[in-house]
Amino acid sequence: LLKNHPEYLQLFPFKDVPLKELHTNKKYRAHGNSIIYAFSSIVDSTNDNELLVSILTKIGESHVPRKVTEQGFLDLKERIIELFSSLFNEEEMDAWKKALEVVFKVTNDAIREKLKIGVE
């Protein structure tokens, strides 16, 4: 994501670290672990819609103060699809694309709602 969208680097506490050195930066690695944990929680919650929506809403809301936009999440979705396309066949990819549409819709709905509440 940061290679394709280096402007997002400014949103992170490791913003002053050159891209080629990120893989050794502790804050970057910790954030990566958080992302994997969140993704795992999302996948584990697919049989519990209420829990899934709650997790996705929290993710969206928690990124508003960090100035992460809906477009940032859409760009992340594209990077995930790109990564997954090298791991899954076409049928599996169709399923992942549908799932990711829902994931990022709920996340971005939470961002919009949080911004609306913050404005009022």
Question: Over its length of 120 residues, how does the chain's per-residue pLDDT go in tens digits?
Answer: 999 999 999 999 999 999 999 999 999 999 999 999 999 999 999 999 999 999 999 999 999 999 999 999 999 999 999 999 999 999 999 999 999 999 999 999 999 999 887 655
Per-residue pLDDT reduced to its tens digit, 68-77: 999 999 999 9
Helix (H) or strand (E) holding 81: helix 70-85
Which phi and psi angles does 48 have, rounded to 5°?
-130, 90
Rounded CA gap, 41 and 39, in Å? 5
Among all chains, which residue has been given the structure tokens 């859409």?
74
Gyration radius from the chain CA atoms:
15
- pLDDT of res. 83: 94
